[in-house]
A and B are shown apart, each in its own frame.
Chain A
Amino acid sequence: MEKGEAKSKKPPRLCCICNERRPVLKRAKTLQQICRECFYEEEIHQAIVKNRLFKSGERVAIGASGGKDSTVLAYVLSELNRRHSYGLDLFLLSIDEGITGYRDDSLETVKRNELQYGLPLQILSYKDLYGWTMDDIVKMIGLKNNCTFCGVFRRQALDRGAALLKVDKLVTGHNADDIAETVLLNILRGDIARLSRCTSITTGEDGPIPRCKPFKYTYEKEIVMYAYFKKLDYFSTECIYSPNAYRGFAREFIKDLERLRPRAILDIIKSGEDFRIATTTKMPEQGTCERCGYISSQKWCKACVLLDGLNRGLPKMGIGRARGGGVNGGDHKKETTVKTLESKQCGSLDF
């Protein structure tokens, strides 16, 4: 009967949780073998309850890109909202960066999700917010550092969208693998400010819109398997501008680590949570941007600096080593997104 088990020369096992059905996967975290039905939703429910992520009656926007994480997030949240009566008003919020051949396709998926899950959708575009699409930006700056522009602009765009929808909270589908990669990236770059914030399950509580990541402890692999078993509709291609992204290296490394020791991912996150910064380290002070009022640790927030650079035809402004106000775009050794003490990006809402 159990074809899977009969092949491996191990005795047939049953799901560790219900002891009734045959297991279909082994949880990397706990090495438990569990069946399709016991898998997953209740764990997210526990994470939500334990970390007190939501309050009844809140309006919550789900950052939806059409990819696997956000689709699963939308599905699980609306399911749990119903099953456990969270009393939440859920919305889908999508950002159109203007990347032809990638974002336009994935937006179609989000539109389908809107119908499938019955959640109202709001789409904001870079073109409307900033006057530039990613395609335009890449034409100007080339294929390096695109992720810097896109990431900075997207974070602000999400906040603007959340404000438009008048929501109390924003949730994103960042999973355990993403967070582990970010911890590593911040170590590699020496970005202490971000390192101290990036493992919090909820961030930005002192800013315009708090954000939380219910999938913080969920492995990417499990999200994909869940989507497969539930036959969820998602879009799966790599952004065409991302191949040179620095994060790609951290990702390769994490994937190789996961293969050798699956718990490594959770352990990296734990290390990140337990970091204590020496009291003698200078940390950036949080203020507001002089130009747009957005949260920032510098005079101007990073988005304004980048936008100014683009509009003035100085695309290197805000990238690489900056001296003083960061206006001298030509002074850089390499075109990397190295953040020095002088050129820290704007504040706590960055992940």
Chain B
Amino acid sequence: MAREECKALLDALNKATACYHHLVLTVGGSADSQNLREELQKTRQKAQELAVATRAQLTAALRDRGLGAEERAEFERLWVAFSGCLDLLEADMRRALALGTAFPLHAPRRPLVRTGVAGGAAGVAARALSARSLRHEAEGDFDVDDLRELEREILQVSEMIHDMEMKVNVPRWTVQARQTAGAELLSSAGASSVGAVSVQERTGPCDLSKALAATVFSAVLLAAVALAVCVAKLS
């Protein structure tokens, strides 16, 4: 059904935007590197593809005059969420451009700010692309070309937003969001468990320290239990 497809596309776009936001946070900081810029590019290209697809679907659905009132309301809700998401994406892209220009990777007149973030963000980008992992295959001087690409893409996205506003007329004030104020907490329990599972799925260097802590703790616990048994036996 069109509605389910639209919803799925919107969810994917949402995920990509969130991951992009997360990646842009670290531009210019100590985690900035060629890989990061490449991940940024892949994420935003994916986001743009999703945006184009969603827009086509939603425009087709909203232009259809034969929709019932309830369906129409549903689509309008999706439309508002979609345009908000696209605005967020565009804002993040602009900031990425400014930050990328301000902190060029090569020829560092401006060394990167040491913010304490040291790890790679490959996982984040992989999540955005719904891929298992990410291969980095960029050459040197990637960031300069990337910035030019980014400028062009920003213009494309702004044009898309402008087109959207012109073609489809959805007044924002008539849309009623479905989620109430406390809604996020109800399903957050499910979300956190999913998150925990996904964390445990990943093996990586950080888990070593966790494993070490776990073994030390269990050893201490065993020693305590043994002492208690001895004391119990002696007394």
Q: A and B: partners? A: no
